[in-house]
Amino acid sequence: MARAQAKRLMRNQPPVSRPRGVPDEADDHPREECGIFAVYGHPQAANLIYLGLYALQHRGQEGAGIVCSDEGVLTAHRGLGLVHDVFKPHKLARVRGTHGIGHVRYSTFGSNNLRNVQPLVVDYARGAMAVAHNGNLVNAQFLRDGLEDIGAIFQSTTDSEVLIHLISRSSEETFTETVVDALHRVQGAYSVLVMNGEEIVAARDPFGFRPLWLGRLQETWVVASETCALDIIDAEWLREIEPGEVVTIGRDGIRSQKPFAAVTPRQCIFEFIYVARPDSYIFGMSVDTVRKNLGRQLARVAPVEADLVMAVPDSSNPAALGYAHESGIPFDMGFIRNHYVGRTFIEPDQGIRDFGVKIKLNPSRETVAGKRIVLIDDSIVRGTTARKIINLLRRCDAREIHFRVASPKIINSCYYGIDTPNRTKLIAHNMSVEEIREFLGVDSLAYLPIEALLEATGCDKDHFCLACFNNEYPTPTPDDFESHAPVPRHVDHSTELLGL
């Protein structure tokens, strides 16, 4: 059978079901993506990375991993689940070394099995290397097809493994040069950490889609997706790694270079709306401040007479507070959230799924009964969960519900690391605002216009990617490369059982 025909057949296989980590159906937001963390020059690097990943858990809950270098020998531990499940003390103790990288994963690309959990680690001609990547590469499948055609073997279905192949094939001299050589060939979003036995290279793509920070803990260098992960180990915030910057951390300190052609940055505005933790600073701004500003803007563009403002907790709390401050309408905790649920590892049976919202959120009847409510959510993806939440309020005798969304209509999919469904499944792609209002069963509905969103950040359009709202993708999309999502071609249960 011709190789091309075989590939086509393999791609037509149905996707393999997720072994664990069924998507949390109580949540109707775009899924978080990944978080990365690195430490250089500390005798307990793995423990610091563990804490850093703990602080970045909101960026990915399906898998976690740490790789450390002990005098040039890389030791890894990776697993499926939350950080504290993956790293029991005896397992963490096995990951020794003075520098290392870590990763928390939500599977925006590639299925959720252990082979896809990062950091990916390989032995190659120059020793060993590990990669931890946040973002999606839009030409990954195109590159992978080319590599497979010349005999390359892939162990995972993640786009990040392409980087490993490109680095290992580079004929450049130094480790950093091989990484830069590989990065010249990929397109899309990456905040990435690449390490070998001696050095860590931290790089951010020229558009700067995903955040990346450089920090310092006495003599130790630290790199993190967000400042909240620097805070947890008392590391000083030095500066953000700039879009297009490559930083090498080694025995002699750090070296920085900007080896790519300069472009106008397109940082992901969704980091402010939903992804990043409110106590973090990213892209030069406080996430909490921007979120409150989103609520203020919403109150200006979509005012309404009401008795109370409430949020769909927790991510919408700052925007709801901002709306309340601006409008003068009191804020109240109309929903009680069960913080002990975590991700619901349940079968995706329809009856159970409906139950999922109630497991997570319950309205406070006393607070909402008979009230005219402004309900704030940060975004709507499919609208199915929003409808269930509104139903809960109706059943508690809310008198009026005015739904206000602290972002514009999501009309397109993201190709840069935020997991939004195909656009045909996006409610705002298919319905007008009035149709959505009817579907949700609310008295009024308003979204935040793009201009007001930008106003909330204090920056103009040229700072941000807004593609999921305005269809202006800063790069070619995967369709432009005639690429296809890879399917796993075998499942290796033995590695999962060993928990390697």
Angle ∠(49,51,54) on CA atoms, nearest 5:
110
190 lies in the binding site for ligand SF4 (CB under 6 A): no
Phi-psi region of 448 (alpha: psi -120 to 50; beta: other; left: phi over 0): beta
Count of Cβ atoms closer than 10 Å to residue 346 Cβ: 14
| Residue 483: alpha-carbon gap to chain centroid | 22
Give the shortest CB-466-to-ligand SF4 separation in angstroms. 6
Give the shortest CB-274-to-ligand SF4 separation in angstroms. 9
Q: What is the 3-state secondary structure (H, E, C) of 396-410?
A: CCCCEEEEEECCCCC
Give how many residues touch ligand SF4 by CB under 6 A: 11
Contact 209, 266 (CB under 8 A): yes
DSSP 273: I
Contact 213, 227 (CB under 8 A): yes
For the question of residue 228 being annotated catalytic, the response is no
Give the shortest CB-269-to-ligand SF4 separation in angstroms. 5
Q: Nearer to ligand SF4 by C-beta: 226 or 326?
A: 226
Count of Cβ atoms closer than 10 Å to residue 481 Cβ: 16
Q: Nearer to ligand SF4 by C-beta: 269 or 401?
A: 269
Give the shortest CB-317-to-ligand SF4 separation in angstroms. 21
167 lies in the binding site for ligand SF4 (CB under 6 A): no
Give the shortest CB-416-to-ligand SF4 separation in angstroms. 4
Given 34, 228, 268, 414, the catalytic residue: 34
Q: Nearer to ligand SF4 by C-beta: 45 or 468?
A: 468
Q: Nearer to ligand SF4 by C-beta: 185 or 461?
A: 461
Ordered alpha helix ranges (H), 302-426: 317-327, 350-360, 365-368, 384-395
Residues for the chain: how many in total? 500
Question: Of these, 83, 193, 465, 475, which contacts ligand SF4 (CB under 6 A)?
Answer: 465
| DSSP H or E stretch at residue 240 | strand 236-240
- For the chain, what is the radius of gyration of the CA atoms? 23
Contact 267, 464 (CB under 8 A): yes
Binding mask 207-226 for ligand SF4 (x = CB under 6 A): --x-----------------
Q: Identify residues 136-155 at the interface with ligand SF4 (CB under 6 A).
A: none
Give the shortest CB-467-to-ligand SF4 separation in angstroms. 4
Q: Residue 39 in 3-state DSSP?
A: strand
Burial (0-12, 13-18, 19+ Cβ within 10 Å), 366: exposed
Give the shortest CB-212-to-ligand SF4 separation in angstroms. 15
Q: Nearer to ligand SF4 by C-beta: 39 or 465?
A: 465
Q: Identify residues 102-121 at the interface with ligand SF4 (CB under 6 A).
A: none
Over the range 388-404, which residues count as b (16 or more CB within 10 Å of their CB) and which as e? bbbebbeebebeebbbb
Q: Residue 182 in 3-state DSSP?
A: helix
Q: Nearer to ligand SF4 by C-beta: 134 or 141?
A: 134
406 lies in the binding site for ligand SF4 (CB under 6 A): no
Q: Distance (Å, rounded) from C-alpha 455 to C-alpha 466?
A: 14
Q: Which amino acid is at 274?
A: Y
The residue whose Cβ lies closest to ligand SF4 is 414
418 lies in the binding site for ligand SF4 (CB under 6 A): yes
Give the shortest CB-465-to-ligand SF4 separation in angstroms. 3
Question: Of these, 113, 468, 478, 483, which contacts ligand SF4 (CB under 6 A)?
Answer: 468
Q: Which stretch binds ligand SF4 (CB under 6 A): 250-258, 304-312, 463-471, 492-500?
A: 463-471
Binding mask 260-279 for ligand SF4 (x = CB under 6 A): --------xxx---------
Give the shortest CB-460-to-ligand SF4 separation in angstroms. 15
414 lies in the binding site for ligand SF4 (CB under 6 A): yes
Locate 26 and state its tokens.
């109580």
Q: Nearer to ligand SF4 by C-beta: 50 or 469?
A: 469
Q: Nearer to ligand SF4 by C-beta: 235 or 418?
A: 418
Locate 413 and state its tokens.
């999919």
Contact 67, 40 (CB under 8 A): no
Q: Which stretch binds ligand SF4 (CB under 6 A): 333-341, 382-390, 412-420, 486-494?
A: 412-420
Question: Of these, 58, 162, 466, 478, which contacts ligand SF4 (CB under 6 A)?
Answer: 466
Q: Which amino acid is at 334?
A: G
Q: Nearer to ligand SF4 by C-beta: 269 or 299?
A: 269
Q: Distance (Å, rounded) from C-alpha 111 to C-alpha 106?
A: 10
Q: Annotated active-site positions, please?
A: 34
Which parts of this chain interact with ligand SF4 (CB under 6 A)? 209, 268-270, 414, 416, 418, 465-468
